[in-house]
């Protein structure tokens, strides 16, 4: 009893003072764990990609030799000497030596030089292509998300009607069909058979002679060339946003606070906007942040089909030429964008939903 009585007892003021510091330590520990897990994820993915690209049949030197022999008629020795003088990679090195060299350069911020374009760094190649992909897929994501939110709420308010049934069926179909299949159908039907779309003129990311800048000429020309990738991306992703927003809105309409708001005589448009819509959109916030991370790799299949000069077409060409440094650089950018997007989704969701902060 004496030992128990001698233990110090914290006052209410001391407990309240120690609470915030404890919460800060817990929050800092959580943030550090998440960052550490993100770094380890990037490391393991890059290690996996390093070995996977080298498991593809043929190496860049052999691909170049075959190309020179087939297209230009060089003999094997001449083509091999040309390849050795052009390429900065030595595919004959042991795989573990190549791996440690790659990781050492990566820690120094050096992504290496392109094999198929000697003298050009991987950073310059990615920087010249990535903004076109961000422009096309980012614009499409913004349009798709906005349109899906509006149509999803409209479907929820019109549930169990023919409008809801029709839009739900269309959303399910477009969401299920792969985007590359839609792209091929558009080119075949409207570009080749009907000749409604000048596909040849729309290839590339910008017309020759158009100067890059914040001008209407450049913006309109960039939108003209990016129209088909944007259209296909919106068509194949808006259905998912519609169906998710519809189910979330239906669940929000059944909440007690909506009934209480209507009982107080609040106008229906205010109920739909500030009570139903604000709460229904919360589950979609995480999906939106994660989708932003996939912007880098969102058009890897469509860009080669439409000949749009973005990061997806560059990746396709690098696979054909076995350009290991460019392949690894592009996959590194995609991996980092996805991992960072997931990290931000975890950290920011509690800032959007006050109920999570209250539970925390």
Using an 8 Å Cβ cutoff, are 95 and 313 in contact? no
- 249 part of a folded domain: yes
Split at pLDDT 50, 70, 90, the class of 18 is: very low
Q: Which of 120-124, 126-130, 349-353 has the lowest mean pLDDT?
A: 349-353
* Helix (H), strand (E), coil (C) string for the chain: CHHHHHCCCCCHHHHHHHHHHHHHHHHHHHHHHHHHHHHHHHHHHHHHHHHHHCCCCCCHHHHHHHHHHHHCCCCHHHHHHHHHHHCCCCCCCCHHHHHHHHHHHHHCCCCCECCCCCCCEHHHHHHHHHHHHHHHHHHHHHHHHHHHHHHHHHHHHCCCCHHHHHHHHHHHHHHHCCHHHHHHHHHHHHHHHCCCCCHHHHCCCCCCCCCCCCCHHHHHHHHHHHHHHHHHHHHHHHHHHHHHHHHHHHHHHCCHHHHHHHHCCCCHHHHHHHHHHHHHCHHHHHHHHHHHHCCCCCCCCHHHHHCCCCHHHHHHHHHHHCCHHHHHHHHHHHHHHHHHHHHHHHHHHHHHCHHHHHHC
- 51 part of a folded domain: no
Split at pLDDT 50, 70, 90, the class of 12 is: very low
Residue at token pair 């107080």: 264
Task: Say yes or no: 143 and 113 in one domain.
Answer: no
Q: Which of 10-19, 47-56, 166-175 has the lowest mean pLDDT?
A: 10-19
| Final residue before a domain boundary, out of 71, 104, 120 | 120
Using an 8 Å Cβ cutoff, are 157 and 272 in contact? yes
Task: Say yes or no: 186 and 257 in one domain.
Answer: yes
pLDDT higher than 90, residue 231 = yes
Task: Say yes or no: 257 and 352 in one domain.
Answer: yes
Task: Say yes or no: 143 and 195 in one domain.
Answer: yes
- List CB contacts of 146: < 8 A, sequence separation 6 or more: none
Q: Provide the mean pLDDT of the chain.
A: 81
| Final residue before a domain boundary, out of 120, 144, 161 | 120
Task: Count up the domains in the chain and report the number.
Answer: 2
- Residue 146: CB atoms within 10 A of its CB come to 12
Q: Which of 18-22, 38-42, 315-319 has the lowest mean pLDDT?
A: 18-22
- List CB contacts of 137: < 8 A, sequence separation 6 or more: 229, 233, 295, 298, 299
Task: Say yes or no: 348 and 245 in one domain.
Answer: yes
pLDDT higher than 90, residue 143 = yes
pLDDT higher than 70, residue 127 = yes
Task: Say yes or no: 171 and 102 in one domain.
Answer: no
Distance between CA 116 and CA 87 in Å, rounded? 8
What's the domain range around 263? 128-359
- 244 part of a folded domain: yes
Check residue 350 and give its pLDDT.
Answer: 60
Using an 8 Å Cβ cutoff, are 305 and 226 in contact? no
The CATH number of residue 330's host domain is 1.10.3720.10
| Final residue before a domain boundary, out of 75, 96, 120 | 120
Range 223-251 average pLDDT? 91
Split at pLDDT 50, 70, 90, the class of 95 is: confident
Q: How far apart are the first and last CA of the chain?
A: 37
- 140 part of a folded domain: yes
Q: Give the tokens for residue 26.
A: 């817990």
Task: Say yes or no: 139 and 165 in one domain.
Answer: yes
pLDDT higher than 60, residue 53 = yes
Task: Say yes or no: 89 and 167 in one domain.
Answer: no
- 13 part of a folded domain: no
Q: What is the pLDDT of residues 159-191, one digit of tens each?
A: 889 998 999 999 999 888 888 888 889 989 988
Task: Say yes or no: 213 and 143 in one domain.
Answer: yes
Using an 8 Å Cβ cutoff, are 312 and 303 in contact? yes
Task: Say yes or no: 266 and 179 in one domain.
Answer: yes
- 163 part of a folded domain: yes
Q: Give the tokens for residue 78.
A: 């001449």
Check residue 6 and give its pLDDT.
Answer: 44
Check residue 94 and give its pLDDT.
Answer: 82
Task: Say yes or no: 108 and 232 in one domain.
Answer: no
- 8 part of a folded domain: no
- 47 part of a folded domain: no
Kindly report the pTM of this predicted structure. Answer: 0.78
Check residue 86 and give its pLDDT.
Answer: 65
Q: Which of 39-48, 139-148, 208-217 has the lowest mean pLDDT?
A: 208-217
Range 238-250 average pLDDT? 91
């Amino acid at each position: 009893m004496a030992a128990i009585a001698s233990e110090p007892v914290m006052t209410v003021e001391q407990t309240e003072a120690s609470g915030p510091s404890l919460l800060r330590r817990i929050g800092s520990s959580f943030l550090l764990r998440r960052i550490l897990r993100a770094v380890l994820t990037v490391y393991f993915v890059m290690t996996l990609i390093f070995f996977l690209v080298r498991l593809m049949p043929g190496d860049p030197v052999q691909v170049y030799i075959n190309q020179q022999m087939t297209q230009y008629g060089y003999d094997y020795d001449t083509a091999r000497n040309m390849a050795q003088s052009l390429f900065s990679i030595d595919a004959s090195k042991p795989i573990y030596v190549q791996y440690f060299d790659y990781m050492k350069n990566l820690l120094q911020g050096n992504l290496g030089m392109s094999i198929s374009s000697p003298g050009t760094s991987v950073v310059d190649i990615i920087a010249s292509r990535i903004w076109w992909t961000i422009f096309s897929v980012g614009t499409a994501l913004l349009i798709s998300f906005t349109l899906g939110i509006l149509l999803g709420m409209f479907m929820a308010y019109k549930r169990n009607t023919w409008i809801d049934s029709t839009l739900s069926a269309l959303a399910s179909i477009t969401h299920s069909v792969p985007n590359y299949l839609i792209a091929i159908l558009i080119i075949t039907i409207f570009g080749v058979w009907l000749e409604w779309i000048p596909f040849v003129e729309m290839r590339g990311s910008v017309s020759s002679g158009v100067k890059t800048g914040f001008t209407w000429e450049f913006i309109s020309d960039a939108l003209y060339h990016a129209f088909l990738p944007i259209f296909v991306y919106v068509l194949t992703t808006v259905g998912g946003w519609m169906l998710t927003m519809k189910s979330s809105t239906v669940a929000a309409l059944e909440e007690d606070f909506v009934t209480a708001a209507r009982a107080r005589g609040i106008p229906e448009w205010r109920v739909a906007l500030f009570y139903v819509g604000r709460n229904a959109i919360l589950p979609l916030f995480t999906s939106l942040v994660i989708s932003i991370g996939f912007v880098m790799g969102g058009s890897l299949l469509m860009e080669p089909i439409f000949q749009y000069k973005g990061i997806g077409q560059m990746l396709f060409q690098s696979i054909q030429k076995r350009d290991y440094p460019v392949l690894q650089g592009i996959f590194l950018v995609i991996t980092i964008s996805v991992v960072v997007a997931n990290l931000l989704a975890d950290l920011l969701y509690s800032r959007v939903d006050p109920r999570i902060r209250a539970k925390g």
